[in-house]
């Protein structure tokens, strides 16, 4: 071990003392010819570094953090039987699903929309499973591929609700027993998972090689929109309530900061076996009664699903770079702090790489007029080979912030510096990986057809894409000091038997997979530390000595008040790999 500066002074002192003892006379008379006994040099005591010092060194060794953010899978959905996890589904205890009145359901509800989506398949051999074929499923979690042969990780399954209030109602105070009661047209599919993944899931092999975190939860209750905001800001966006947007405010039974949606009088007492919850609520809105945006809203800047405002007289679009600001589905530009702000203030480079960003920006700002996107395109295009780009606007969290206003010089510069095109198939991101050009902090968001989202994507294509990205990272010239986090934005409405710990008003939500990769990450390890999406921000903040985002403080204090300590991913590091 190299001697650190803090040991230099003691060593000098020892050297001086030893030297004086060697040169000095005896303690007796001058004429005493008895030879003096040379002093024995003392050996400095060098204390071993503490565990905290070793962890700090391991954290400081990281020079590149890469976050890969996939879509909509619970932990149980893909990794229920991963070796080494502390609660395998096969031996776990959990409550049966109950109806809306609290009585145990005699069976799971139908998958009202049909279990598979014929038009969305990339693999045309996937069989069609209709709603009728899902009648009478046993009230228990079930293996999709064992129950419906041919429907496996290569299949595009029906989408399921993944909304802020519904997620909390499904969790039901930690019982996790009302997922089917408050499901929409996905019905009983919320209880489905895939088995046999150890031989066919590309990321399974990556997880076995590195670290799997089996107590990692989504940062916020609900869906992609809010969880992308929690990935970068650990906070819900604000949208003050006005007379114009009242129609988007959720109606609740338990007050403005509650979580239980009010049910229509006519729907009260209607069983989940009779009808889905798709239309039973008085108003399941995007906004809380006190002005937070918690379900999908559109970016105020292009690319956005809302076209620019048109001048009625001339038919032109005076602000082609903006979404129509009068549309109540458009979120006002946000000015709260996010991790990008703090990194920039510390002169740490960073980038958000988005799959299809350049493709979609060109369509949204086409001089001939707003074209739109392939958002509704699923499966393969007419050639039978090419997937729709399927760009998701609400998966671009920085595009909601005023700092990236494309109508200002500063905003244009910040967009060029930080909002990067990942390429339709990740090719631009891969090019930067190969060239060793990744900034210290990189986020990569795969395009829709490669993100694993139910309803328009399968698991295996996205999983293989991410595994391929990791293989590229392992060969990168920057690999030696890299930490890669692969996780999912949220559970996609899919049940998981492990209840999230109680935190603050906004989360954490249901358990999701998270795999941590890198040359100094623990190998073949399962980490049982409690993490959520905001733990990624904690690691970045710790590594670059950033201030704590206000939302991180709220989360940390909320969890601690309820007896839970949140990790910052440092436990996934192998301190022995950086000890010398």
Q: 35-44, 390-399, 425-434, 479-488 — which is least confidently predicted?
A: 35-44
Other Cβ atoms within 10 Å of 286 Cβ, number: 23
In a domain, 244, yes or no: yes
105-161 pLDDT per residue, tens: 999 999 999 999 999 999 999 999 999 999 999 999 999 999 999 999 999 999 999
Other Cβ atoms within 10 Å of 37 Cβ, number: 7
Confidence (pLDDT) at 579: 83
- pTM for this prediction: 0.91
Distance CA 207, CA 530 (A): 17
Confidence (pLDDT) at 48: 86
Instruction: Report the chain's terminal Cα–Cα distance, integer Å.
Output: 5
In a domain, 39, yes or no: no
Confidence (pLDDT) at 16: 35
Distance CA 312, CA 318 (A): 11
In a domain, 15, yes or no: no
Other Cβ atoms within 10 Å of 98 Cβ, number: 19
> Tokens for 108?
């799971």
Distance CA 245, CA 263 (A): 21
Which residue(s) pair with 527 in the sheet? 213
Residue 432 sits in a domain of what CATH number?
3.40.720.10
Confidence (pLDDT) at 24: 38
241-263 pLDDT per residue, tens: 999 999 999 999 999 999 999 99
Q: Quick check: helix, strand or coil at residue 469?
A: helix
For residues 42 and 14, the answer to whether their CB atoms sit within 8 Å is yes
Distance CA 47, CA 45 (A): 6
Owning domain of residue 222 = 63-86+201-294+333-355+401-578
Q: Quick check: helix, strand or coil at residue 351?
A: strand
Distance CA 120, CA 40 (A): 82
178-212 pLDDT per residue, tens: 999 999 999 999 999 999 999 999 999 999 999 99
CA atoms in the 13 A half-sphere facing the CB of 381 = 10
Mean pLDDT in residue range 369-373: 89
For residues 179 and 191, the answer to whether their CB atoms sit within 8 Å is yes
pLDDT for residue 513 is more than 90? yes
Q: What share of the chain is helix, strand, coil (3-state, %, to 5)?
A: 30, 10, 55
Question: Sorting pLDDT into bands at 50, 70 and 90, what band is 311?
Answer: confident
Confidence (pLDDT) at 41: 64
39-93 pLDDT per residue, tens: 566 667 778 889 999 999 999 999 999 999 999 999 999 999 999 999 999 999 9
Q: How far is CA 114 from CA 2, 241, 324, in A?
A: 64, 37, 36
Confidence (pLDDT) at 3: 38
In a domain, 317, yes or no: no
Distance CA 381, CA 377 (A): 8
Distance CA 425, CA 117 (A): 23
Compute, in degrees rounded to 10, the torsion defined by CA atoms 404, 407, 409, 413. Answer: 40
Mean pLDDT in residue range 484-495: 98
The pLDDT mean for the chain works out to 92
In a domain, 116, yes or no: no
- What letters, b where the CB count within 10 A reaches 16 and e where it falls short, cover 554-563? bbbebbeeee
Candidates 55, 247, 168, 224; CA nearest to 502 is 168
Distance CA 72, CA 495 (A): 11
What's phi and psi for 283, nearest 5 deg? -165, 110
Distance CA 191, CA 189 (A): 5
Distance CA 74, CA 496 (A): 6
DSSP 403: G
Confidence (pLDDT) at 37: 54
pLDDT for residue 4 is more than 70? no
Confidence (pLDDT) at 318: 81
Domain count, the chain: 1
> Tokens for 534?
């905001």
Which residue(s) pair with 442 in the sheet? 66, 351
Q: What angle do CA 196, 201, 203 make, to 5 degrees?
A: 135
In a domain, 527, yes or no: yes
515-561 pLDDT per residue, tens: 999 999 999 999 999 999 999 999 999 999 999 999 999 999 999 99
Other Cβ atoms within 10 Å of 148 Cβ, number: 20
């Amino acid at each position: 071990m190299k001697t650190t500066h803090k040991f230099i002074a003691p060593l000098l002192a020892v050297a001086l003392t030893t030297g004086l003892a060697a040169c000095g006379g005896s303690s007796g008379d001058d004429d005493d010819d008895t030879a003096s006994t040379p002093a024995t040099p003392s050996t400095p005591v060098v204390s071993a570094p503490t565990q905290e010092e070793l962890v700090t060194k391991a954290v400081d060794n990281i020079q590149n953090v890469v976050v890969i953010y996939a879509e909509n899978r619970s932990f149980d959905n893909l990794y229920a039987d991963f070796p080494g996890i502390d609660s395998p589904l096969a031996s776990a205890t959990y409550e049966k699903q109950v109806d809306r009145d609290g009585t145990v359901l005699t069976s799971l509800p139908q998958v009202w929309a049909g279990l598979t989506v014929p038009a969305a398949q990339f693999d045309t051999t996937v069989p069609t499973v209709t709603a009728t074929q899902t009648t009478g499923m046993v009230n228990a979690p079930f293996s999709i591929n064992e129950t419906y042969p041919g429907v496996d990780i290569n299949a595009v399954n029906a989408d399921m609700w993944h909304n802020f209030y519904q997620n909390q109602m499904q969790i039901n105070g930690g019982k996790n027993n009302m997922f089917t009661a408050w499901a929409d047209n996905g019905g009983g599919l919320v209880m489905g998972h895939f088995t046999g993944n150890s031989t066919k899931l590309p990321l399974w092999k990556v997880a076995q090689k590195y670290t799997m975190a089996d107590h990692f939860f989504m940062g916020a209750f609900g869906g992609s929109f809010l969880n992308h905001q929690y990935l970068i800001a650990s906070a819900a966006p604000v949208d003050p309530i006005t007379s114009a947007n009242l129609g988007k405010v959720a109606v609740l039974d338990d007050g403005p900061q509650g979580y239980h949606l009010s049910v229509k009088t006519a729907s009260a007492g209607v069983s989940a076996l009779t009808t889905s919850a798709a239309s039973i609520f008085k108003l399941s809105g995007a906004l809380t009664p006190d002005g937070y945006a918690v379900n999908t809203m559109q970016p105020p800047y292009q690319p956005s699903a809302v076209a620019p405002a048109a001048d009625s007289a001339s038919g032109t679009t005076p602000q082609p770079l903006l979404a129509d600001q009068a549309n109540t589905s458009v979120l006002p530009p946000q000015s709260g702090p996010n991790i990008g702000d703090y990194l920039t203030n510390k002169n740490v480079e960073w980038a958000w790489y988005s799959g299809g960003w350049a493709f979609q920006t060109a369509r949204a700002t086409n001089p001939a007029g707003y074209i739109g996107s392939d958002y509704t395109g699923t499966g393969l295009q007419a050639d039978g080979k090419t997937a729709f780009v399927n760009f998701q606007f609400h998966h671009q969290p920085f595009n909601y912030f005023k700092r990236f206003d494309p109508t200002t010089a500063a905003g244009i510069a910040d967009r060029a510096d930080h909002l990067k095109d990942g390429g339709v198939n990740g090719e631009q991101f891969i090019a930067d990986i190969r060239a060793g050009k990744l900034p210290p902090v990189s986020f990569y968001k795969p395009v829709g057809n490669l993100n694993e989202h139910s309803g328009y994507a399968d698991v295996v294509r996205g999983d293989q894409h991410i595994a391929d990205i990791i293989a590229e990272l392992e060969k990168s010239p920057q690999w030696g000091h890299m930490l890669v986090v692969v996780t999912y934005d949220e559970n996609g409405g899919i049940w998981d038997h492990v209840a999230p710990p109680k935190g603050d008003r906004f989360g954490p939500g249901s358990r999701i997979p998270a795999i941590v990769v890198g040359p100094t990450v623990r190998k073949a390890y399962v980490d049982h530390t409690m993490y959520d999406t905001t733990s990624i921000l904690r690691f970045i903040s710790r590594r670059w000595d950033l201030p704590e985002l206000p939302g991180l403080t709220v989360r940390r204090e909320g969890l601690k008040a309820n007896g839970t300590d949140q990790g910052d991913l440092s436990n996934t590091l192998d301190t022995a790999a950086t000890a010398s």
